[in-house]
Copies of this chain bind each other. A is one copy, B any other.
Amino acid sequence: MKAEIITIGDEILNGQIVDTNSAWIAQQLAPLHISIAQISSISDSAEAITLALQQAEQRADVIIVTGGLGPTKDDVTKSTIANYFNTRLVRDPQVLAHVQQLFDRLGYTDMPEVNKQQADVLAIAKVLFNDVGTAPGMAIEKEGKYYAFLPGVPFEMKHLIEHRVLPDLRRLQPEAYVYNAHLITVGLGESHLARQIEDIEDAMPSFVKLAYLPKLGLVRLRFTAVGADLEVLKKETDNIADAVAQRLGKHVVAREDLSFEEIIVRTFAAKNLRLATAESCTGGNISTQITAVAGASQMFQGAAVVYSNQAKVDVLGVSASTLEAHGAVSEPTVVQMADGAKAVFHSDYAIATSGIAGPGGGTPEKPVGMVCVAVAGRYETLSKTFYYKNDRAVNIQRATMAGLSMLWNLFQKEEAVKME
């Protein structure tokens, strides 16, 4: 099946916000074997909405529309789609009670009409009840097409996709089960990886598809099988994933669809290992990425962002003579930063970074984009220097990824040593 995503609202068109909803929706539909034909952001006008629906119908079976349903918008979206589907708006009593309840909780007495209108839905629509907000979603099935209209607020949209839309979409293709298996790999490029497993991929039955999804330092492999017998799909797909995992050995770091940070948090928490960071050029970004993962507090001890030389000495115990002899951006300094963070935070591992993120601060010997990274482990501390050539934000992102990769490599090496 093909789907299209339409986002309504001027905030995206004038560049105030980046549309992150659509990528998230695309990721949720992929495991159901639904691919996205087009993503469109359009303005909040009757003409634009009508045209976008007409054009999307030509290309897709599933049309997901977000935005234009909030309480501060006038009702152009709802009245436009009521016209489009040749129906009218009716006030839903269950939604009205829910909106009233949320309103009461804020301590106001009279609910204005504009808030009551939140409960208006298309007469022909199935209401997608919104537990986490006031604007309900709506689903319409017509002439073999499925339409979902959802609020644009990300966590409301996500709730409705997960709990209302995905079950609908699974029901729409009842004859076909979909089964997914994942392998997360680190340390191999996409083309190199593809060559290593070429024979396995060539021998896959036609109902199994393999997608390579590379993202900064790791490549996720998604095996998607579609067919009538779920047991067969599961067995065949898992067998193929097993064969690939065996071939790739230690490069496979997870068999679930996790981010690299999630893998690190889970693995360290399970092994009761603790992590700290000492960050200069990454400015706390490694810490931010790790602590964005729920449960990070089980393994993350803390971070010292030491921008000034004084702080490197005071907080982490870097020696003034090392700073003088080699400079803040040097392998001897990051090694001492990593060892210092391990000691200060009582951790088993520590990542340290120091570099010239740019755009200012570069010299001929130490150009913008030069980054030194160290990782202290249980048995040794390793360091490495990288030369990036990008803007500040990308340099910070790359240095973050380099730190996490070096951490993972050292962890794997030390685990192997323990096993011997």
A-to-B contact residues, CB < 8 Å = 12-20, 22-27, 30, 35-43, 48, 52, 55, 154-155, 211, 213-215, 277, 279, 283-288, 290-292, 294-297, 300-308, 310-311, 314-315, 344-346, 357-361, 390-394, 396
The answer on a CB contact under 8 Å between B15 and A26 is yes
Cβ contacts under 8 Å, A359 to chain B: 294
Cβ contacts under 8 Å, A344 to chain B: 311, 314-315
Task: Pick the 3 closest A-B CB pairs, nearest first.
Answer: A283-B291, A15-B26, A284-B284
The answer on a CB contact under 8 Å between B42 and A14 is no
Cβ contacts under 8 Å, A303 to chain B: 284, 303-305
With a 10 A CB-CB cut-off, give which of A12, A48, A359 has the most chain B CB atoms: A12
Q: In the bound complex, what is the Cα–Cα distance between A279 and B302 (angstroms)? A: 9
The answer on a CB contact under 8 Å between B294 and A283 is no
The answer on a CB contact under 8 Å between B302 and A307 is yes
Cβ contacts under 8 Å, A308 to chain B: 301-302, 345-346
| A330 nearest CB across to chain B (Å) | 17
Q: A23-B12, A283-B292 are in contact. Are A38 and B35 (CB under 8 A)?
A: no
| A48 nearest CB across to chain B (Å) | 7
Q: In the bound complex, what is the Cα–Cα distance between A296 and B42 (angstroms)? A: 37
> Which of B16, B22, B296, B301 sits near A41, CB closer than 8 Å?
B22
Closest chain B residue, CB of each to CB of A213: B16
> Which of B23, B25, B315 sits near A304, CB closer than 8 Å?
B315
Q: In the bound complex, what is the Cα–Cα distance between A291 and B344 (angstroms)? A: 23
The answer on a CB contact under 8 Å between A43 and B37 is yes
Cβ contacts under 8 Å, A277 to chain B: 305
| A420 nearest CB across to chain B (Å) | 32
The answer on a CB contact under 8 Å between A345 and B287 is no
Q: A26-B15, A36-B14, A38-B42 are in contact. Are A307 and B301 (CB under 8 A)?
A: yes
Q: A13-B36, A36-B14, A39-B13 are in contact. Are A297 and B307 (CB under 8 A)?
A: yes
Q: In the bound complex, what is the Cα–Cα distance between A195 and B48 (angstroms)? A: 30
| A325 nearest CB across to chain B (Å) | 21
The answer on a CB contact under 8 Å between B305 and A287 is yes
Q: A292-B393, A301-B308 are in contact. Are A19 and B18 (CB under 8 A)?
A: yes
Can you report 20 residue pairs joining A to B where beta carbons are below 8 Å apart? A15-B26, A16-B214, A17-B23, A19-B19, A19-B23, A22-B41, A38-B43, A39-B40, A39-B41, A283-B290, A284-B284, A284-B288, A284-B305, A285-B291, A294-B358, A294-B359, A295-B360, A302-B307, A304-B305, A311-B346
